Chain A
Amino acid sequence: MRRLDVFFERRDAVFLGCCVALFCIGLLTMHSLGLAKGQPWAQKQALFGVFAFALFAATSGVSLNTWRRFAPRITALVLALLVLTFFIGAERKGAQRWLVFGGLSLQPVEFFKFAALLIGANICALAAYTRFGLDLAKPVFLWLVFPLILLLLQPDAGSFFLIAVTALALLFLAGLKMRWLTAGAGVFAAAFAAMVWAKPYIWIRLTSFWNPFDDRYGSDYNVSLSLMSYARGGFTGEGGGNLLVGRNLPEAHNDFIIAVIAEERGVLGFVIVAALLLFVVIRAAAIGRRAAERGEMFGAFYAFGFAALTVMQVVVNISGSLALLPVKGLTLPMVSYGGSSLAATALMISVLMRADYETRAHAENRQ
């Protein structure tokens, strides 16, 4: 018991509570959605949850320094998997993102998000201490720019955008000069433009979201149903399991889980989920600031990166369901269905909690 007390004394229990609450909300939604569609999503997700918790518990003892030292190796491993998807990847939903081992399928890009946070924080922490910045250009290109190009080739525009923005934000925080930042953003923009130029249909796909009722039974099918879910849910929602629109909504259990929540629980449910996510981000940013004050720069950058990544992912996911952005197949962290996503999130949280723990322990030691 005492060990548990110590665990929570030095870790943000509110943050963890929010994460568990989000996971449970997702589980509940998947339960009723699965019943309506006849799919065992809730059961599987619960199993993933147990696995993710085990992963969290197993890695929460790993020190921040170990994570930092192993960041390149972890990233290299994930990159290898990512490269592997080009050769033996299973194609799903028009993108090669999956590695299938027997009955188990793995989405390396989810783990790359975690790896990018580690390596990004690592590079920025180095930048904070090194006088000479030039030698940092090599790891930036090796660990960030190269994988991003891989993502663009997959093509996984959603993850590309997410990680690119997070990386730029971290480099900005680390003090990268504005002109390089602008140059970097310009390079990404140019790469993106090149991709659109090579495959013009992408542009149509990217812009059609703005008129979600043009092709209601074609490319706009998902989004129009998602909007209908919001409209039907109204303020208080139609109640659990009362899924008229949601049951017809493709990918309702991952891309559009928030729309399903909106139909079942209305604006109230939406606000609760959004508030919990906001809280998660605020607590992560607070951890980052505390770490920065203590001079624990790896932890600080990691926490800021986590906050940025989460915000971007939430915004892209929810905006997609509201036809404010094209739907990019990004999950809603902790809520959406998916074993890889959940496992990667558990690892991210594990490291974040470790940062929190070490910062507090550091403060206590000083006193």
Chain B
Amino acid sequence: MTRHRYFRPPQLRLTPGRLGLFFCLLALPAMAMIVAGIWRLHGFYPKLQNMMREVYEIRRVIPSHRGTITDRNYELLAMSANLYDATADPNMLRKMRPERWRETAGKAAAILSLDAEEVRRKLSADSRFVFLKRKIPPAVAAKLRALKARAIAVQYESARFYPGREIAAPFLGYINERGGQGVEIFMNSRMRSEDGEMRGVQTTHGAVFEERSLRPAKNGGRLRLSIDSRLQSFVYNAAIRALQKHRARAVSAAVMDARSGEILALVSAPSFNPNHIRKSDFRNSGERTKNRVVADLVECGSLAKPFVVALALELNLAREEEMLPTAKPVAVGRLIVRDNHIREDLTVAEVLTRSSNVGAYLLAKRVGKKRYYDFLRDLGFGEKIFGLRGEAAGRVRHYKEWRREDFATHAYGYGFAATLLQLLRAYSVFAADGMLLEPRLSPEGAAAARRALSAQTARRVRNVMSGVTEGTGKRAAVKGYAIAGKTGTANKFVGGEYDDKKKRAFFVGMAPAAKPRYLIAVMVDEPSQNGESGGSAAAPVFSEIMRRALLLGGIAPLINNSEKESGGEDAV
């Protein structure tokens, strides 16, 4: 028995039976594995799908582009630039070897031109996400990508960029995640874009596949403004020069096409850089950010006198050459209407050119409260023009609330509040032969105008106003052109009384006087040096701007300085 104790007898070894069983035992686990594998995978499949989604699905924003803003010549005023944010995953980076980590941080810092120490500090945070630097240009983003550090990434960000920087900032405004103002907000519905969304799974190389849902991006529409950026930048620079020269608090100016009502420039200085908005820009209730042309409510002073004169002429209650007893002050109730610089009687025309308060009151008295009030309303005072954010409507009290003194002050521009743009609109009556032009921001579409004065009267007043260069507005003259306009100086109403020291200097004028092409309003707020009146602070600015506007408009100057004017046709 012991002979075959362990192994079967030789003739029974490696029998077909044992071999068959061996093969079966080999096949069995393989078969079992296949069957069980299919069964398990089938059972797990829904769960695995969910896990895949959870782990690998990404949501991607399809970037959209906010519409650009251009000027009338399609020059860009605001655009959406493709910028990037540099981000990092510090926890992932930490898995690198320390020396590699330092090297990567150093390279990233060099590319982003950041302090290497600061980058290292950011990268040592216990976090899965930090911003290294925001709003980096595409070229820098490409360099950062070329680093091929998986934990450092760039993500798309749409950023608003204003090539003109300060020149139109208060007017164009800005828009960001916290809000905005100006045209950006006013015309937001036109320019607004909507980001699309894509859900998918990302491959190793960052390509997205297996899109699950797709909402396309909607780009915003382009906005073309009537602004002429050449003029806008010139006006801005002129305003800044005036601001410095007169040590003024602010300077605002507007240029209007006197034929169509299109606004060609709208400037408010000081301004801000909309590409880098700082908190300090908003100090003193928006000192730098507000658009003073529509936001500042002012008493216009002498600028109101042409309205009185025009109404008196229109109603045949006066003639230009008629003499008025302006030499002596007039007492109205408790108020004494006086002219500090006039000691003689003036004609109606001279009341305008030399700006006599007494004369204006005498004429207003002839016109009467109601008709004067109605005329002011007809000229659009007390009603908003665009409806921009922060725009003021102004206020004209009803004539029945006027006391005698109030009526007198209304005649020379105190007691009612208006914006500079409203004044510009009111003066368009004289520039457009009696039609009140509605200011427009778009160069497309038809002009809107309503008649407020007869064409004849408008021309008569304009003719009178062209004498301003011999009167208060000598420095408003533009060499080679005839202009018409009016100076204004108003004391500011501060703390319940009129402050003699704080003034506003105005000039509103048009050129060429025979057939105006441009209408310009300038306001210098609180000039404190080198002249404080409309004639000395605002008129020179007007002159500068008008000269440039006429040149840009291609309007030929008068030859030999003759009295005959070439008119408003484009002669060049």
Q: Show the binding face of A for B, using Cβ within 8 Å.
A: 36, 127-129, 131-134, 136-137, 169, 172-177, 180, 212-213, 216, 224, 227-228, 230-232, 241-245, 247, 274, 278, 281, 285, 289, 292, 297, 300, 304, 307-308, 311-312, 314-315, 318-319, 322-324
Contact = CB atoms under 8 A, between A and B. Distances in A.
Contact of A232 (B25, B37, B40, B52): B52
Nearest to B37: A322
B135 to A, nearest CB: 31
B7 A244 contact: no
B179 interface: no
Contact of B5 (A134, A173, A230): A134
Contacts of B48: 227-228, 230-232
Given A318-B37, A322-B40, A173 B45 contact: no
B49 interface: yes
Contacts of B52: 228, 231-232, 245
Contacts of B37: 318-319, 322, 324
B13 A128 contact: yes
A-B pairs with the 9 shortest C-beta distances? Answer: A175-B13, A133-B6, A231-B48, A175-B8, A133-B7, A322-B37, A315-B29, A36-B204, A175-B7
A172 B22 contact: yes
A180 B13 CA distance: 15
A177 B6 contact: yes
Nearest to A242: B203
Interface in B16-31: 18-19, 21-23, 25-26, 29-30
A231 B33 contact: no
Nearest to A314: B30
Given A289-B19, A311-B26, A324 B6 contact: no
Interface centre among B4, B6, B34, B41 (most CB of A within 10 A): B6
Given A228-B51, A324-B37, A172 B18 contact: yes
B23 to A, nearest CB: 7
Main secondary structure of the interface of B (DSSP, over half): helix
A173 B29 contact: no
Contacts of B55: 228
10 contacts: A133-B7, A173-B22, A175-B14, A176-B7, A227-B44, A242-B203, A285-B26, A300-B14, A318-B37, A319-B33
A91 B483 CA distance: 97
B10 interface: yes
A104 to B, nearest CB: 23
Interface string B469-488: 00000000000000000000
Interface string B275-314: 0000000000000000000000000000000000000000
B47 interface: yes
Contacts of B25: 169
Given A247-B204, A315-B30, A324-B37, 6 more contacts: A136-B7, A174-B14, A176-B8, A245-B52, A308-B22, A312-B29
B26 A175 contact: no
B7 A174 contact: yes
Contacts of A278: 30
A281 B13 contact: no
A142 B47 CA distance: 49
B40 A132 contact: no
Given A228-B48, A315-B29, A131 B3 contact: yes
A244 B30 contact: no
Contact of A311 (B7, B30, B56): B30
A322 B33 contact: yes
Contacts of B22: 169, 172-173, 304, 308
B219 interface: no
Contacts of B51: 213, 216, 224, 228
A247 to B, nearest CB: 5
A311 B5 CA distance: 31
B202 interface: yes
B19 to A, nearest CB: 7
Interface in B87-115: none
Contacts of B204: 36, 241-244, 247
A137 B18 contact: no
